[in-house]
Structure 1
Amino acid sequence: MDEAALSELESTHAAGLTSSEILALFAERGAAISEATLRKYVQLGLLPRSVRVGRKGKHQGSQGVYPASVVRQIQVIKDMMAESYTIEQIQREFLFMRGDLDQLTRTLGSLFQTLDRVMDERRTDPVAALAERDVLEARGLGARLVERLTQVEQRLTSRAKIQGVLSS
C-alpha cells in the first residue's frame, strides 16, 4: 500500500478498524495475515492493543477496535520481514516505541475531547475562559511532544537499519 492509500485509510477510518476489517484489507491486496499473527504482533508490543467499543443496541456486546494506524504498522512489519529482518530484530531495533506513541496520541486525544466537553458546558464561567487558553497551549505541547518522540524513533530506526546494512 502506498503512502496516499495509507493516509486516506487512516482518515476514513479515524474511529478505528476491527480485526476482521484489517485482515480483509490485507487479503484484498494479496498480503493476507491471520488473526493469530495479528494477536502475536500485539503480544510482542509491535501493535497497540484493541480498545473495546460497545455496539449500538441492547445486549449487543462490544468489539475490539484498533487505531487505523495499525495497517501502516503491519505494512512496515511485512516490508521489513521481506528484507530478511526477524520479528525479534523488528521488535528490538525498529518498532520498540511505535505502540507506545500511538497509545500516547490516543490518550491525549481522549483527554482533550473531555476537556473540550467540559469547557463547552462551562462556557459562561470566567475561569473557563482562562483555562481555555491553558488547554490550547497544552494541546500544542502534546502535539509537539508526540512529534519529537516520533522523530527520535525515526532516527533510532534509521540508525539501526544503517548498522544492519553495514554489518551484512
Structure 2
Amino acid sequence: MDKSELRAAQSPLKEKYKTNPEEAEWVLTAEGRVGDGIACYVSTDAGEVEAGLHPATGGDGSQACSGDMLLEALVACAGVTLKSVATAMEIDIEEGTVKAEGVLDFKGTLAVSKEAPVGFKSITLHFDLTTDADEKKVEKLIELTERYCVIYQTLKNSPMLKTDIKI
C-alpha cells in the first residue's frame, strides 16, 4: 500500500468520524474460556491461544504467557503504526524489527513480597530500521508512531479499568 492508497482507505473514515463523532467509538472485545488445569483459551482472529503460567510462576513454558502476549500486542501495534506513518510520510523502510522488553518482578504476583509490584515495572520498545531517511525524519516517524499506537498510548495512559462478575 502506498501513500495514495492509504489516504484513499482512510479519508472516508476520517470524514465520517468528523461528521459523526459517535461512529468513531467502537467496542473491541476479547474472550477467553477457562480451561482444564491452569489455563485460559483465548479466541483470536488467528485461532485459539492456550494461555497459562509463565515458567517463573510454575508453568512449564508450553502455554502462552499473558505478559508475553501484552508485549506481542505492543509490538504488533507499534509495527503496524510505524508502517502506516512511514507510508504517509513516504519513508521507505527496507527492513525493520520492533522488539518490546518488559521487566517483571515475579515476587509480586506470587505474593512473596507486598513491596514488589504486580505487573511490569518497565517496558522498553526498540526499533531497528534500515532506511535511507535522515535522522530527523526517523525521529519524527518514531514520535508519531508513539503518538498514534493504541497499545503504546493505553499502557502510557492507563484507562479506567472495571471488573464485572456474573454467577
**Could you say whether these structures have the same fold, taking a TM-score greater than 0.5 normalized by the shorter chain as the test?**
no
Q: Tell me which protein shows more helix as a share of its residues.
A: 1
TM-score, normalised relative to structure 1: 0.31
Higher relative contact order (CA 8 A, sep 6+): 1
What TM-score, normalized to structure 2?
0.31
